[in-house]
Amino acid sequence: MAKKKTKFVCQDCGYESAKWMGKCPGCQEWNTMVEEMEAVAKQSSRSYVTSSTTTTKPQPLSKVVGDREPRIDTTIQELNRVLGGGIVPGSLVLVGGDPGIGKSTLLLQLSAKLAAKNEKVLYISGEESIKQTKLRADRLGMISPELYVLAETDLQFIQHAIEEVEPSLVIIDSIQTVYQDDITSAPGSVAQVRECTAAFMKIAKTKGIAIFIVGHVTKQGSIAGPKLLEHMVDSVLYFEGERHHTYRILRAVKNRFGSTNEMGIFEMKEAGLEEVLNPSEIFLEERSQGASGSVVVASMEGTRPVLVELQALISPAGYGNPRRMATGMDHNRVSLLMAVLEKRVGLLLQNQDAYLKVAGGVKLDEPAIDLAIALSIASSFKDKPTQSMDAAIGEVGLTGEIRRVSRIDQRVNEAAKLGFKRVIIPEKNLGGWTVPPGIEVIGVPTLEKAIEVVLGG
């Protein structure tokens, strides 16, 4: 059978060429020519039918009957939370993360959990042999007769295996190893990844099979391959964490069937990944007592409140331009809050180096952490420690006012549950909800008043 014709198309300007060129003649950019299959014009076998039962005819949305299938419970609460309540049948989910972070371990555990519920699962590994996968499954204690394993990278054989097994869930590990014979480029190229993902998407939608595909990441942390890959799938999950630490964070950056603000936390152990059901205790367990520059904030990660420690170190600048470094938070937000502290509170920070960090490796990006950042900076600058049982919540405006935040009752309840005695919140958030027993809630109108309450002036 003859190979399908291919062409090389510039990904920036769309210039087409019969052969590969390092520099595009159209836009003069380098390394933008990517191999693609030529579209062959053919006569469509479909004919437009004017019958009222046809699906090709436009229909009023109000008359469309939606079939809502129940989600598949993974029995892993943290994964259910990130997915929006479980796996949607017929969905295509992309899982990305650094090498060795635990992607394959998580998906093998997911496969075993579903297989234990008599759900057929097909685990396709393109990077390991069947024996290697078996060794890893033995180590994790994940053996089930409903879990099928296949070591294959040819798309046609994979499609045949899916038709033969008829599973409820398919795991592709990884998409960069799968190839299609019709395309002459190597596995992992832009054309191969795009076409193979499109084939898996068609299988998922037509057969109602949920498919998880693993994607490698680049040095910049983004998923390797075309950006179109993330647009094609229904959900994109990122597995984050330091390989030298035991905690892993699973985030959804795209989810057609749930929230993109949810976060799942796991701990890597010898027997696999274990769920962390109360992450606030994890993030606060190594907190120093009586140290300046440390403030606890109650942040919302989707529908879950999480207490996290913010740390600041303010020291005199040794050179002309002071340094501003932030880990786990927006660098520009730190500069903005330092300007507000200098202008509205009178702290001379223009000749000070500032180093800020969110303890535990979590990333925070909501406005409610502004007050805690500002208090940690003021605490370190004045070298006055905050009380260990204090927490701060609030958004800081450019005029120094403390603005209201959402879900204040859930945040305060989480602080009370962990034994905190006092919470500083925006004055506008007082009233309209019940304060839990055993905790004092103080409303502050301005940043200057908040610093006076926490640091005593």
Same domain, 234 and 294: no
265 carries a ligand binding annotation: no
Query: How confident is the prediction along the chain (457 residues), in pLDDT tens digits per residue?
Result: 455 677 887 866 768 888 889 998 988 888 888 777 765 545 555 555 544 444 567 889 888 876 667 899 999 999 999 999 999 999 999 999 888 888 999 999 999 999 999 999 999 999 899 999 999 888 888 788 899 999 999 999 999 999 999 999 999 998 989 999 887 777 887 778 888 999 999 999 999 999 999 988 766 666 766 667 888 899 999 988 866 678 888 989 899 998 887 889 899 888 889 998 888 888 887 888 888 999 999 999 888 899 999 999 999 987 778 999 999 999 999 999 999 999 999 999 999 999 999 987 788 989 999 999 999 999 999 999 999 899 999 999 999 999 999 999 999 999 999 999 999 999 999 988 999 999 999 999 999 999 999 998 6
185 carries a ligand binding annotation: no
Alpha helices in 155-225 (DSSP H): 155-165, 190-207
Q: Which amino acid is at 74?
A: T
Asked whether residue 259 is domain-assigned, the answer is yes
101 carries a ligand binding annotation: yes
pLDDT confidence of residue 247: 85
25 carries a ligand binding annotation: no
Asked whether residue 55 is domain-assigned, the answer is no
Same domain, 83 and 188: yes
Same domain, 293 and 265: no
Same domain, 239 and 148: yes
Torsion from C-alpha of 291, 297, 301, 304, nearest 10 degrees: 110
Q: Tell me, what DSSP letter sits at residue 221?
A: S
330 carries a ligand binding annotation: no
pLDDT confidence of residue 47: 52
Asked whether residue 52 is domain-assigned, the answer is no
Same domain, 379 and 309: yes
C-alpha 178/C-alpha 105 separation (Å) is 20
Q: Which two tokens stand for residue 211?
A: 């498919």
Same domain, 423 and 325: yes
pLDDT confidence of residue 15: 82
C-alpha 177/C-alpha 298 separation (Å) is 42
C-alpha 317/C-alpha 456 separation (Å) is 26
Q: What range defines the domain where residue 341 resides?
A: 282-455
pLDDT confidence of residue 51: 45
**Residues 6 or more apart in contact with residue 259 via CB below 8 angstroms:** 84, 252, 302, 303
pLDDT confidence of residue 53: 46
Asked whether residue 224 is domain-assigned, the answer is yes
Same domain, 417 and 308: yes
Asked whether residue 62 is domain-assigned, the answer is no
The burial class, CB within 10 Å (0-12 / 13-18 / 19+), for 42 is: exposed
272 carries a ligand binding annotation: no
Domain count for the chain: 3
Asked whether residue 118 is domain-assigned, the answer is yes
Same domain, 247 and 370: no
7 carries a ligand binding annotation: no
Residue 172 CA to chain centroid, in angstroms?
19
Instruction: Collect contacts of 222-230 with beta carbons under 8 A, ≥24 apart.
Output: 223/94, 223/96, 224/176, 224/188, 224/193, 225/175, 225/176, 225/188, 225/190, 225/193, 225/194, 226/11, 226/190, 226/193, 226/194, 228/194, 229/94, 229/175, 229/193, 229/194, 229/197, 230/94, 230/254
Same domain, 119 and 147: yes
Same domain, 155 and 273: yes
Same domain, 266 and 312: no
Same domain, 315 and 331: yes
Asked whether residue 51 is domain-assigned, the answer is no
104 carries a ligand binding annotation: yes
Q: Is the pTM of this model over 0.85?
A: no
Of 277, 300, 326, the one marking the end of a domain is 277
